[in-house]
Amino acid sequence: MSSAQKITDDIFKMAVNGMRQKTPVVLLACGSFNPITNMHLRMFEIAKDFLEKSGKYIVIQGIISPVNDGYAKQGLLPANHRLAMCNLAVQSSDWIRIDPWESQQDQWLQTVKVMRHHKAKLEEQQCSLMETPSKAKKRKLNTRTRSCSQSSVEDIANENEVDEINSRNNAGYIELKLLCGSDLLESFGTHGLWRDADVREIVGKFGIVCVSRAGTNPQKFVYESDVLSEYENNILIVTEWIQNEISSTRIRRALRRQQSVKYLVPDPVIDYIKKNGLFTNDNDILIRSASKYETSL
């Protein structure tokens, strides 16, 4: 079963099981993942627990989107290696997947453009959800002129199909939220690092789930930013009480020094790193000049 089909099936199950009061959410994490660590994966689990325990949301999927090679960062491995490591890291997860789209583009993209892409894909899937099986082959919705909620009921052949359309239309729209750490949230307030319009769209249109690290004060970041304060209801802050300071930077440093990173990085990823001789002094090079923007993880 494809990831897209899994989303469709999950939403339909929520509709028929009477879970319409819960908003389906997809969590998107953008970043270098150079390499991916256990903490990256933990952030998804922490955010999922928080959202679902609120009683308002049900998290149906997590997406990891490794940054394009055009992102200027010292020591950034080529996307093929980072994608391979990410896929190995999530092979045991039944809800987190790796999406290669961002890394396959011709150039580096701002986070907001990546979010627009995934939102559009989710809306396409939502439209497919609202198509009945008997009509799917005969009718295609033009999303530019007609919304998914305007599914045609008058041309449905029988009452059973009408009931199916109504159930699907009541399923609720999928929300896409950016999953990030408190360092990214703080960077929104750094002058010249992000475009104000991009921050406004990310926070206002999509929303953020921020998993805070020990010793940080994300509420202070929100308070000190006019844009973040304006959309503070769209910023969900989750405190990680179990202190864990794992970072890709520290992992790379340990690997360069030939120190063990076991239990900090998934075992299949460690095996891949060793097999390919990654993160040594020889391949830890500068790909391009410093970037204007940060990634979320």
Residues 30 and 110 in one domain: yes
pLDDT at 134: 53
pLDDT at 13: 58
Residues 36 and 178 in one domain: yes
Over residues 140-167, mean pLDDT? 43
Residues 262 and 201 in one domain: yes
Residues 96 and 202 in one domain: yes
Residues 165 and 179 in one domain: no
Residues 163 and 186 in one domain: no
Residues 45 and 179 in one domain: yes
pLDDT at 291: 39
Tokens of 289: 């000049």
User: What are the phi and psi torsion angles at 158 (to 5°)?
Assistant: -145, 170
pLDDT at 21: 80
Least confident of 3-12, 93-102, 247-256, 267-276: 3-12
Residues 65 and 117 in one domain: yes
Q: Is residue 30 part of a domain?
A: yes
Q: Which domain holds residue 239?
A: 3-129+174-276
The domain tally of the chain equals: 2
Least confident of 9-13, 83-87, 176-180, 202-206: 9-13
Which pLDDT tens digit goes with each residue over 221-266? Answer: 999 999 999 999 999 999 988 877 789 999 999 999 999 999 999 9
Which pLDDT tens digit goes with each residue over 34-59? Answer: 999 999 999 999 999 999 999 999 99
Full-model pTM? 0.82
Q: What share of the chain is helix, strand, coil (3-state, %, to 5)?
A: 45, 15, 40
Nearest to 132 by CA among 167, 100, 90: 167
Q: Is residue 291 part of a domain?
A: no
Residues 108 and 213 in one domain: yes
d(CA 61, CA 179): 12
Q: Is residue 289 part of a domain?
A: no
Residues 112 and 208 in one domain: yes
Least confident of 31-35, 135-139, 279-283: 135-139
Q: How far is CA 173 from CA 122, 123, 246, in A?
A: 9, 8, 35
